[in-house]
Structure 1
Amino acid sequence: MGEEKTTIAFDGGESAAQEKRRKQKQQKKKGAVVVVMGATGAGKSRLAIDLASVFPGVEVVNADSMQVYHGLDVVTNKPPPSDRNGVPHHLLGMIDASMEFTSRDFRNLAIPIIDDILSRNGLPVIVGGTNYYIQALVSPFLVDDVLEDLHECSVADLSDLKDFDVSGGYERLKEIDPVAANRIHPNDQRKINRYLSLHASSGALPSNLYRGKAAEKWGRVSNFRYNCFFIWLDASLPVLDRYVDQRVDCMIDSGLLNEVRAIYNPSAVYTRGLFQAIGIREFNDFFQSYFANKDADLRHKLAVSDVLNSNDDKLKNLLNEAIGKLKANTRKLVRRQRRRLHRLKKDFGWDLNYIDATKAFFFLWHVVKNLVMFKARYWFQRTCGLNISVRDNYSFEGKL
């Protein structure tokens, strides 16, 4: 008699290969989206539009917290229609400038738009430098949702704290709970106030929200709402700094001062709505002096853009100082954005496809573009099961 073979079954067991195949199937069921991230000035908007020239069905979903607002197109550096090459853009310039627009608001507006694009077999390309917007969108867990459910900080508790001093809130939060402060944007006044109110009413550290179930879910790779191909477009800091300075000069030439003059309000609150944008508060001292000029006729004759060439040394110096502040604050923003991206990759395990676009600033954009297209093609084949072939152009042979 031949030797009888015995098969041993392990209930509930799963090999590594089986687990990998199961996760791949789960991922394929999710809609595929491209997410273009990176610091200010790295070329995100340009790359998103270039993707549309290579992949069919691309529609751009803006994820910049200031570009969602209507107005100040130069200040917020919105891509003008002439540069969009007919590519549909969503959530660009549609929110009233005075409204508060949170990451939850962004998520709730963006999801139906993305789902609609996917239902038409299109390719949503999410692009923007507001990383916490993207985190709120791709992760089904949002910190604001937990804050709503906290028993320790009820609506009554918050109403009792209406006189609580939250001036200089972000710096205060850093002293109380640096971990929580590091997780939110310094201009997210609504969340800063809520964190401070939570601490004042209960003594609890806001960062404790990220323990247990929250820590397992928020922004973790295994729990993304979509099947995401992340592109991290970057360049060396010296190159980005030079580009930022040049871009600010171009923005001045393109009418930034006239935009800020049109909305200038000496009693403006720079922590709400569009007034949070870099490029407004920096000119406060200049416009205070500009409008304080008792010679109304001179003020009307002297356009804001002509101040730099005028004989008014005081105004000229104030304007130069304001432009310097704008450049410095934009460079700080670049560093803050890069730190957050490093953290997403290192601490949260996001698979960010890092693209060094330094060469693009030396007239070699095609090198950067080709590298991105190669990586995107490989990702779609490996992750989504789509065969993207190279003919005269890339095309999808499959269904998203």
Structure 2
Amino acid sequence: MTMNMMPMCKQAQALPNVQLSNIGGGHSHNLLDVFNPRRQKDKVVIVMGATGTGKSKLSIDLATRFPAEIINSDKMQFYEGLDIATNKITPQEQRDVPHHLLGVLDPNVDFSADDFSNVTCLAVDSILNRNRLPIIVGGSNSYIETLVDGYDNMFRSRYDCCFLWVDVSLSVLHSFVSDRVDQMVENGLVEEVREFFDPNADYTKGIRRAIGVPEFDDFFRYGPFLDDETRAGLLERAINEVKDNTCKLACRQLEKIRRLRNKGWSLHQLDATEVFQKRGKESHEAWDRLVSGPSAMIVRQFLYNNKAEVTTNAIRVPVAIETAALAAATY
């Protein structure tokens, strides 16, 4: 069923078990504004990439250069709980940047791509009404595709989108993902998932679909009845399955991004492979040189490509962040 953007936003308010931070009043534009080709569109930045490539880090880097708020688009990070398993950005890493749709859903409910589109519409409008830049970030590319291209391209009709793609060579990324899973285990992954274990759980619904949950089922279900060696073998197998499934996810995400590019999406590709091949200071320098710095330049050009537009009421975001962006030019 085709539906227009305004009813879609209103529908989002009725979604159960969703708590959106700082959602304010609706957008001031009406439908005539949306379809007016002369009206300057509001601007939205969308950060994409496979799991583990640094999307969250980039979104924070941008939000500290341009006054912005972040909307999570990772479908497993929508849910409360399992912060280690779902690799949620920590409060310290958020650096006081407001985040939306992060850890707000009951773990047992389903949240579809259409639900995401509805609620994200509200969040984007609310952020724009505070004269801030919405940055949508996450690895659930099918959800982003539904948001951007769904409902007869209503989102594109209303918003001008800048797509940033953080890319890493798969061979390098797979090695990093394996090491990251080991670090997650050290940080308490097994204990976290154990507390969440339910022998009657449905692994096709809610947060239990997340990689790192169903893989441990046999270990939790049968481990207490086994000898130490067999139990250790089950644990090792579960951890290896988490690594394998995460690598497979990265491949699927990359394939999806390439399909979107072939579909005509204008994606700014940022190759971060060198960042992952270096360590310490050299890695940080490579990140600034290859990813963070170029992304800031792309966003600055995206926001200020027409200086005359800054004075119009339709460009609320550039008006609010012009000073910050100019200052960032010497960052």
TM-score normalised over the length of structure 2: 0.78
Worse-matched range after superposition: 318-327 or 381-390: 381-390
On the 8 A contact 1:27/1:383 being kept in 2, the answer is no
Provide Cα deviations, 1:99-128, integer angstroms capped at 9, x if missing partner.
Answer: 011111111111111101111110000000
Please say if 1:48 is aligned against 2:56: no
Unaligned runs of 5+ in 2: 1-35, 311-317
- Pairs within 5 Å for 1:350-365: 350-361=265-276, 362=278, 363=283, 364-365=286-287
Taking structure 1 as reference, are residues 36 and 274 closer, same or farther at Cα in structure 2, changes over 3 Å only?
same
C-alpha distance in 2 between matches for 1:27 and 1:249: 53
Partner deviation per Cα, 1:337-377 (whole Å, 9 max, x = no partner): 00000001102x11111111112222021112111111222
Contact 1:28 1:383 in 2 (8 A): no
Q: Supply the distance in 1 between the matched residues of 2:217 and 2:132 (Cα, whole angstroms).
A: 44
Q: Which residue of 2 aligns with 1:32?
A: 43
The residue number in structure 1 matching 2:239 is 323
Match of 2:86 in 1: 76
Judging changes above 3 Å, is the alpha-carbon distance between structure 1 residues 358 and 26 closer, same or farther for their aligned structure 2 residues?
Answer: farther
Letter in 2 for 1:366: D
CA distance in 1, matches of 2:61, 2:225: 47
Distance 1:355 1:289 in 2: 45
2:253 corresponds to 1:242: no
Structure 2 CA distance, aligned partners of 1:240 and 1:27? 44
Corresponding residue pairs, total: 276
Structure 1: how far apart are the matches of 2:90 and 2:156? 35
- The equivalent position to 1:366 in structure 2, one of 288, 294, 317, is 288
Tell me, in whole angstroms, the C-alpha distance in 2 between the residues paired with 1:28 and 1:234. Answer: 34
- Aligned equivalents of 1:333, 1:131: Cα separation in 2: 11
Contact 2:47 2:136 (C-alpha < 8 Å) held by counterparts? yes
- Structure 1 residues 254 and 44, CA gap change in structure 2 (3 angstroms): same
Q: Once the two structures are aligned, what percentage of the paired residues are identical?
A: 43
For residue 289 of structure 1, report the CA deviation from its aligned partner.
Answer: 2.0
Which residues of structure 1 form unaligned runs of 5+?
1-24, 142-216, 294-310, 396-400
Separation in structure 2 between the aligned mates of residue 26 and residue 34 of structure 1, nearest angstrom: 21
* Higher Cα Rg, which structure: 1
Displacement of 1:265 after TM fit? 1.6
- 2:162–2:302 contact (8 Å) kept in structure 1: yes
How do 1:1-400 and structure 2 match up within 5 A? 26=37, 29-56=40-67, 58-141=68-151, 217=152, 223-292=156-225, 312-347=228-263, 349-361=264-276, 362=278, 363=283, 364-367=286-289, 368-382=291-305, 385=309, 391-394=326-329
- Contact 2:223–2:234 under 8 Å retained in 1: no
Could you say what the CA RMSD is over the residues aligned between the two structures, in angstroms? Answer: 2.3
How much does 1:288 deviate? 1.6
